């Protein structure tokens, strides 16, 4: 009886170790996510750029908040961007990206991919840090 239990425990440890070693990529975060934050439905759209960089937009109560970020140690760190005065789309920033600068003093929004394929995050609000979870938007099937 000891051998089957030992084997089961060993297999569980090996599988959890193998999964824990999987490094997330920006492709794992790319797409549109539905987020629940303080009883508000929020959309987070993440678009991969070169390397570990991303552009994102958080859509909250009819307002779009442009974000830029980077994947560091399996966590996406996003910062709010303020458009520069007279900024226009720039080929060096990528398609659909406008020249912008990071909001000064802003704490990053952290986004982590969970084992079940959802995301979990945290962002600062006027009431302090707010934790949230999100699920990838699923396209409706036609038919």
In this structure, is residue 125 part of a structural domain? yes
Average pLDDT over residues 29-57: 93
Give residue 39's domain range.
Answer: 24-136
The full DSSP string for the chain is: -HHHHHHHHHHHHHHHHHHHTPPP-HHHH-EEEEEEETTEEEEEEEEE-STTEEEEEEEETTEEEEEEEEEETTEEEEEEEEEPTT--B-GGG-TT-B-EEEPTTPPPEEEEE-TTS-EEEEEEETTEEEEEEEEEPPPPPP-
Q: How far apart are CA 138 and CA 1, in angstroms?
A: 45
Q: How far apart are CA 28 and CA 18, in angstroms?
A: 17
Q: Quick one: tokens of 79?
A: 């910062």
In this structure, is residue 39 part of a structural domain? yes
Q: How far apart are CA 35 and CA 127, in angstroms?
A: 19
Q: How far apart are CA 105 and CA 59, in angstroms?
A: 21
What CATH number is associated with residue 67?
Answer: 2.40.128
Average pLDDT over residues 41-64: 93
Average pLDDT over residues 95-106: 53
In this structure, is residue 63 part of a structural domain? yes
In this structure, is residue 74 part of a structural domain? yes
Does 54 score more than 70 pLDDT?
A: yes
Q: How many domains does the chain have?
A: 1
In this structure, is residue 112 part of a structural domain? yes
In this structure, is residue 76 part of a structural domain? yes
In this structure, is residue 61 part of a structural domain? yes
In this structure, is residue 57 part of a structural domain? yes
- For residue 17, what pLDDT band results from cuts at 50, 70 and 90? very low
| Count of CA atoms in the C-beta half-sphere (13 A) of 66 | 13
Does 7 score more than 60 pLDDT?
A: no
Report field, pTM of the whole predicted structure over 0.75: no
């Amino acid at each position: 009886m000891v051998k089957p239990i030992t084997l089961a425990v060993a297999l569980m440890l090996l599988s959890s170790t193998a999964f824990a070693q999987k490094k997330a990529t920006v492709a794992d975060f790319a797409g549109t996510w539905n987020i629940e934050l303080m009883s508000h439905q929020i959309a987070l759209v993440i678009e991969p750029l070169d390397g570990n960089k991303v552009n994102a937009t958080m859509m909250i109560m009819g307002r779009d908040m442009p974000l830029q970020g980077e994947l560091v140690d399996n966590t996406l760190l996003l910062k709010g961007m303020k458009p520069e005065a007279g900024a226009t789309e720039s080929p060096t920033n990528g398609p659909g990206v406008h020249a912008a600068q990071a909001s000064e003093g802003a704490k990053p929004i952290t986004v982590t991919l969970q084992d079940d394929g959802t995301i979990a995050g945290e962002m600062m609000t006027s009431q302090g840090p707010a934790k949230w979870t999100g699920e990838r938007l699923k396209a409706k099937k036609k038919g």
